[in-house]
């Protein structure tokens, strides 16, 4: 408690003009480093083109940097204050994180019945968020169109390979670093789920050979987490061969090869064994979320007969892969929790094998209609894809308790972690309060049922993040017109809650005309329109726009690129204060 108060005192001291007289204890906190990661691994990667030192990206105390830093630290202090007042919440936050009192030593966590406990058997609650867009980019989070690997190819063609690599390195440097870890701990988070793309660790042209640069980046963030007492869950968000057919698995083809091709499963298991080898003795890693949103039986893409109510899982495939993977990891690492997600994007647990390891937990994803809107909550919500629905606390609770993941974990007396859920804030501005109320009720339900949770997403370009990029920042100004075009074209398939546009209406009309000519009465018109829209607008049109995105950065020097990409740094972002307040209210509670 004394240390936390001293930190807050020192932050206030600097913000109020105390300058160089701040106490020595706090200087490590106040000198928030944003050392470019690219520079720290330059020797390893043997990158020294044009004698680059990357000094331009280091946070300094120049007058131009001071005000954004002050504002960021002020926010961190305010969030931290919530953890230092009333009901011994600070102690509760430490218990929630499973930290030893008085130091930064972290303890291995493990499953005990339906709870997660520390080495002493104390219950630990995992509450936090996910920095999607960091080591697994997504269109609606980072602002680009299309999938990440095709975007990187277009950027290399437009900017040249070296400058394109610099662009992405600097984006990742700024997107999630020690500043963000400090912010989350001050807000009360006990865990961060780190979405990872396999391409950071292994190239398709060099299978089973692992890339030190990717592991070095991950190691750096794990060190920050360790230093500040924040647990991390490693989440393989994009697996070799694509475990689903959507954009968030870095899929640009709508084809999933993972479930049918043993070669991709071999690489997947081997990569997880490499993670196990490297992190078997790292208590900061709370566990391994081994496969994000798997979908075992629509390998040819989304069509009306294999999505939504017509989806038919192949859990024999999933059970076989999971059993093989758990056995392979346990040959190396017996201590970390392994989190298994349900089929059909972490929703379907019917037919999943009963727990066969004493340190397995399960993860569901629980997005809800009132979290997206539009419409009032409690009250009538008007989803774009269906008829109006009445939602309130009682219906949210009933929906959660009837969900497959909830029933499966209750039946088998094992922990449930809701790895993704959230509300959006880029719909009607006057409905942001409705989205917050829906989220508040949802987390309250999780808490009453002792569920672990992480929100989606931590930081983005203005959709659902705790922190959002400043609309006046250099990056947002540069892509402003492109974002307008993306919205008009509906390329971000995730954002179905947004109003219709002429292009989206024309696509729906085309879907209807196709259905009329095909003449198959078994095809669902609504699902057909949904699948065609995704194919035409998200995949084809999104990829079509990638050269336009790349052209926005062509000809810029590295100094200029660094300036633009610094827009992603926490100290330059704008907090969604209402969201931060709701999350902190629960994050700071005792376990």
Q: What pLDDT score does 89 carry?
A: 41
Rounded CA gap, 20 and 18, in Å? 7
Report pLDDT digits (tens) over 283-328: 999 999 999 999 999 999 999 999 999 999 999 999 999 999 999 9
Rounded CA gap, 378 and 438, in Å? 8
For residue 376, give its domain range: 32-50+61-490+544-587
The answer to whether 210 touches 199, Cβ cutoff 8 Å, is no
Report pLDDT digits (tens) over 259-290: 999 999 999 999 999 999 999 999 999 999 99
Q: What pLDDT score does 494 carry?
A: 87
Distances (CA, A) of 390 to 45, 370, 426, 442, 471: 56, 9, 21, 15, 34
Q: What pLDDT score does 121 carry?
A: 97
Please check whether residue 511 lies inside any domain of the structure: no
Q: What pLDDT score does 28 carry?
A: 35
Rounded mean pLDDT of 235-264? Answer: 97
In this prediction, residue 111 has a pLDDT band, given cuts at 50, 70 and 90, of very high
Please check whether residue 15 lies inside any domain of the structure: no
Q: What residues are annotated to the active site?
A: 293, 420
Please check whether residue 435 lies inside any domain of the structure: yes
Range with the poorest average pLDDT among 80-89, 215-224, 510-519, 565-574: 80-89
- Give the total number of structural domains in the chain: 1
Please check whether residue 495 lies inside any domain of the structure: no
Q: What pLDDT score does 97 carry?
A: 52
In this prediction, residue 385 has a pLDDT band, given cuts at 50, 70 and 90, of confident
Q: Which residue has the higher pLDDT, 495 or 76?
A: 495
pLDDT at residue 421 above 50? Answer: yes
Q: What pLDDT score does 386 carry?
A: 83
The answer to whether 503 touches 279, Cβ cutoff 8 Å, is no
Please check whether residue 497 lies inside any domain of the structure: no
Give the percent of the chain with pLDDT over 90: 81
CATH number at residue 176: 3.20.20.80
Q: What is the DSSP string of 38-100?
A: HHHTHHHHT--GGG---GGGS----HHHHHHHHHHHHHHHHHHHHTTSSTTHHHHHHHHHTBP
Average pLDDT of the residues of the chain: 87
Please check whether residue 20 lies inside any domain of the structure: no
Report pLDDT digits (tens) over 67-107: 554 455 455 545 444 433 333 444 444 545 544 333 458 99
Please check whether residue 349 lies inside any domain of the structure: yes
Q: What pLDDT score does 75 carry?
A: 54
Q: What pLDDT score does 449 carry?
A: 98
Q: In this structure, are strands 123-124 and 285-289 parallel, antiparallel, or unpaired?
A: unpaired
Please check whether residue 523 lies inside any domain of the structure: no
Q: What pLDDT score does 384 carry?
A: 86
What's the whole-model pTM score?
A: 0.87
Report pLDDT digits (tens) over 348-378: 999 999 999 999 999 999 999 999 999 999 9
Q: What pLDDT score does 248 carry?
A: 95
């Amino acid at each position: 408690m004394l240390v936390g108060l001293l930190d807050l005192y020192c932050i206030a001291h600097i913000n109020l003009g105390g300058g160089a007289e701040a106490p020595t204890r706090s200087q490590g906190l106040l000198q928030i480093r944003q050392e470019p990661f690219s520079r720290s691994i330059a020797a390893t990667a043997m990158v020294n083109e044009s004698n680059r030192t990357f000094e331009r990206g280091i946070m300094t105390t120049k007058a131009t940097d001071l005000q954004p830093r002050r504002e960021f630290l002020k926010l961190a202090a305010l969030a931290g204050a919530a953890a230092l007042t009333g009901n011994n919440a600070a102690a509760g936050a430490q218990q929630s994180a499973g930290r030893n009192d008085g130091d930064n030593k972290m303890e291995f966590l493990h499953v005990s019945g339906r709870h997660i406990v520390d080495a002493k058997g104390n219950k630990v609650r995992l509450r936090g968020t996910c920095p999607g867009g960091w080591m697994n980019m997504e269109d609606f989070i980072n602002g680009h169109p299309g999938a990440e690997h095709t975007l990187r190819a277009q950027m290399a063609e437009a900017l040249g390979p070296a400058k394109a690599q610099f662009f992405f390195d600097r984006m990742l440097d700024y997107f999630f670093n020690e500043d963000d870890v400090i912010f989350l701990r001050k807000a009360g988070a006990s865990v961060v789920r780190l979405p990872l793309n396999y391409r950071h660790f292994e190239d398709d042209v060099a299978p089973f050979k692992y890339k030190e640069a990717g592991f070095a980046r991950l190691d750096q963030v794990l060190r920050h987490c360790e230093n500040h007492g924040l647990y991390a869950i490693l989440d393989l968000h994009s697996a070799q061969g694509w475990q689903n057919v959507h954009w968030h698995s870095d899929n640009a083809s709508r084809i999933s090869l993972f479930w049918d091709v043993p070669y991709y499963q071999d690489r997947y298991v081997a990569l997880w064994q490499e993670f196990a080898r490297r992190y078997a003795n790292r208590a900061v890693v709370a566990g391994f979320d081994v496969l994000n949103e798997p979908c075992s039986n629509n390998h040819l893409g989304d069509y009306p007969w294999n999505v939504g109510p017509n989806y038919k899982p192949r859990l024999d495939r999933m059970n076989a892969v999971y059993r093989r993977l758990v056995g392979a990891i346990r040959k190396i690492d017996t201590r970390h929790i392994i989190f298994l997600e349900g089929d059909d994007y972490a929703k379907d647990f019917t037919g999943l094998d009963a727990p066969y390891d004493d340190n397995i937990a399960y993860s569901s994803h629980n997005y809800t209609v009132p979290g997206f809107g539009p419409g009032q909550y409690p009250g009538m919500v008007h989803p774009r894809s269906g008829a109006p629905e009445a939602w309130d606390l009682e219906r949210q609770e009933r929906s959660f308790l009837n969900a497959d993941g909830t029933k499966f974990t209750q039946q088998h007396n094992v922990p449930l972690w809701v790895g993704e859920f959230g509300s959006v804030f880029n719909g009607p501005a006057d409905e942001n309060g409705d989205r917050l109320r829906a989220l508040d009720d949802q987390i309250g339900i999780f808490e009453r049922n002792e569920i672990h949770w992480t929100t989606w997403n931590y930081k983005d370009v203005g959709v659902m993040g705790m922190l959002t990029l400043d609309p006046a920042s250099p990056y947002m100004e540069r892509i402003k017109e492109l974002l307008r075009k993306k919205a008009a074209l509906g390329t971000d398939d995730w954002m179905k809650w947004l109003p219709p546009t002429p292009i989206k209406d024309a696509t729906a009309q085309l879907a209807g005309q196709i259905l009329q000519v095909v003449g198959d009465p078994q095809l669902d018109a609504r699902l057909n329109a949904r699948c065609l829209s995704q194919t035409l607008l998200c995949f084809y049109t999104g990829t079509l726009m990638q050269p336009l995105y790349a052209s926005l950065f062509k000809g810029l020097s590295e100094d200029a690129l660094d300036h633009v990409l610094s827009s992603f740094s926490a100290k330059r972002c704008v907090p969604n204060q209402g969201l931060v307040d709701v999350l902190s209210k629960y994050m700071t509670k005792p376990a």
